[in-house]
Structure 1
């Protein structure tokens, strides 16, 4: 919040006002359905790992810096 010059107290106050005005939270509170190891079969997990291994060996992957740059773009 410091980077955009917005005190947390102002953000919270604004959120409360939006809840009062709209009668609910002004954004979605859903959790994306991302696959986890627990939700995969061994075959699915092994296929995913094999794909990643192949990408790493053939240079198809991203460097750590490139990966974090892409993550930052989405934030």
Structure 2
């Protein structure tokens, strides 16, 4: 099918860059990926993936905690900082990315 329409969109530059890196590895141009997405919307009658908020584990979900439980966890965190139980955020994220 011939492509004859232009779509101009504004996107977050970081998101675009990361998507381009993935698409490049797949050998798919951005325009083809967008075309695939739009075709899937037409075929499925909606967005072709679930659009939901991620589920937080119960131990992290403050909606399920009492005020006392939240305060206890915050106090535990403050105590860790006072005791020097901290790590460099950049190093922690780098380590996380290696294992995930």
TM range (shorter): 0.5 to 0.7
Q: Relative to total residues, which structure has the larger helix share, 1 or 2?
A: 1
What is the count of residue pairs matched by the alignment?
A: 70
Task: Structure 2: state its 5+ residue gaps.
Answer: 1-18
Give the aligned partner of residue 67 of structure 1: 92
Q: Deviations over 1:10-68 (max 9, x none)?
A: 322111112223333222111024445xx465323311211212333252x43212332
Task: Structure 1: state its 5+ residue gaps.
Answer: none
Q: Which one of the candidate residues 33, 47, 63 is aligned to 2:72?
A: 47
User: Which structure is larger by alpha-carbon Rg, 1 or 2?
Assistant: 2
Give the aligned partner of residue 32 of structure 2: 10
Confirm or deny that 1:25 pairs with 2:47: yes
CA–CA distance in 1 between the matches of 2:89 and 2:76?
18
Aligned-residue RMSD, C-alpha: 2.9
CA–CA distance in 1 between the matches of 2:77 and 2:89?
14
CA–CA distance in 2 between the matches of 1:2 and 1:33?
28
Q: Structure 1 22/43 Cα, relative in aligned 2: closer, same or farther at 3 Å?
A: same
